[in-house]
Structure 1
Amino acid sequence: MKKTLVLTHEYYPFKGGVARYCHNLFKFFKNEEYLVVTDNLEVSSQKNIINTRLTWPYLKPSWLLAYFKLKKIIKNNQLEQIFTPNILPLGSLAYFLKVPYIISLHGLDINLAMANKPKLTRKILTGAKAVIANTENTAKITRDFLGQADFKIKVLYPSVDFDTSYDPIKLEAFRKKLGIGEEKIIMTLGRLNKRKGQDLVIEALAQLQNDYNFKYFIIGRGSENKNLELLIDKHKLSKQVFIFDNIDDEDLIYFFKLADYFVLPHRQSGHDIEGFGTVFLEAALCNLPIISGDSGGVKEIFNKPDQALLIPSDDLKALIKAIKFLLNNPLEADKLAQAAQQRAKQFKGSKAQSLILKEILK
């Protein structure tokens, strides 16, 4: 295959869906087959990763200085094509560098690009060597925007290589540390932002706290942390709702194993939609009953009603009803969990997805 520049704002170990998506696609490649260039502060330069500044907000275009920097990197490393999951602004860079490029789309990115720079977005998409989408939903949004129902887009779902093995002794240590007794444990894993809907879960549990014995573990970090803390205080839920903003990846399995339910009622917030939701696959593989929002790519994960409870965006009554259903009907909850687990096993692992990508990059 042609040596590829992976040009991205997000890459592992940064915790985010796009970062994991890219890392999982390339982690099985040989180092000499690709080079990552990123400006993410959590990613250090090493082996075949270069961390360097890519945008300057006071310049127009913001990537102007990076253009000259990347021309040198491309020449010095004999790079033949570019793969980028950031259509704007990095897709612009790829377009003007006059190097063959592949655009990877994830949901929010294409929505913002269409709204803010439609003409440039159209040029970038139609000029690409290939366009990859993380879901059929994202592919449809793109085709509808271009007005080309037959525009070629390859759908590569995010892969999941989630190791569900665990240390029973460590599990019991976590149980003791978290003070878990007879309560039912509800869990959410995801970035703390408005779209994810952690606030909606808190509002729902505030109305259920007198009737049910539960704890709610919110795992993640983000801009809504303070607002969620204020909401917890407002409803006097400090003994039932807890935020964990610094959990190592290897410890996530213990939260999944201690949980009884996974609840992430994501909403569509403006242009921001749930592109896919790998955490739903992880929860399903851990045999958890799931409550999800019904927007974005999640409907491609759970494509039958017996696999998860999907609720409309911002529908507090529907969320309360769904939570009560799971709490009151353990046998039905188990059936949901089993069906979700079987569905999750149908998705390809990252090694298989990498092989498909290699064909695209030839």
Structure 2
Amino acid sequence: MGTFLHERAREIVRWAEPDNEDYPELFSCSFCDSEVDPKGENVAISWAQYMELVRDGLSTLFVTGAEQGNPPSDGGDGLEWLSMEDVLSYCVDAIGDGPQAYALEREIGNELAEDVWTYRDFGWDRVEFEFGWERFKADSRGSDRLNSEMVLSPEKLLDRLETIITVLLNKDEYDVLPIVPAGTKLWRVRPHDHPDPEFVPSGKELGSAPEVAAKDNRFSPDGVSMFYGSDELETALLEVDYSTCPYATAGQFQTTKDLVLLDLTDVDWFPSIFDPAEARYYYEADFIRGFGDEIRRPLKKDEDYRPTQRVVAEGILRFSEPIDGIRFKSAKDPERYNYVLLFGNEECGDLGAGDEAVLALDLSTVETLPIGGVGRGEPDGA
């Protein structure tokens, strides 16, 4: 029995009584022959009760052909009918990984063999966030082509985004808002035309662009100053290879205080449909897993950064949990990481200068390097 069904099975065991056909008192498991230990890990329920829990979990995402109506032979009504292998792939959390897992999976398959399954609500829950994000992007660009009561509004999408991040915060195994300690080092580069830069390198000159010079970027529009950096010099250089400038001056900044970041680099929460407390977030989690890839991808033709800029301005900056920036995968290489920190030029300075800079440049790390490529891509916010 899978971990997520264990506590629900224990609740059933508490109702067990001798000669009770609905809640029989069992003393061993018919699959592994383990003796029941009411105070320990080994509990046993009847096969009918176990399958009731399995079907209850599956009903979170699916309905049977009998519930939906007789399934078509040719799929002509647009529904996607799943094979038994597909259905069983969702039962992993109900089965567990013990030595009897294969036999248990086979018996579940035999029990469900007469049922034909399809996504609940014609699969709308599956695509709710997908359509909501498409509407959000269209709305950000001045279009109302997806304006419908069925599609999440931009405001509701941001509310749901905050909700699922808040849920993840309460999961011990997922640190989506890690504390980045003071002293964390980040590289930043500034392209220029000549081997010798036209500026004297300093925290102000290499840090966040002043508002008057801040250009349209992945998370910030013209005139909004934010700090874009990378944890490796090579990554920072990769991110500016779109520039027509052949050189760049690089420097390593250090954070001077602890920061809270929204980490979208490794969100892999798969809520169990057999845990009622988690199942309600199944599709939200599916969306947030892909959201990190969505915000880092290169722009397509006729796209701009307005949607991701809006996520920051109307979403992240207004979350009830204060967030200082985002950690995300590089569009150049998903194995490399970038950061956008929500601090402007006035919060950049030099290490040891005694000012109140949040991001302090270590002047000993400053060097001028060839970028390595001229005009080979789109700006990517580093």
- What interval of TM-score do these two structures reach, taking the shorter chain for normalisation? under 0.3
Length-normalised TM-score, structure 1: 0.26
Higher helix share: 1
Length-normalised TM-score, structure 2: 0.25
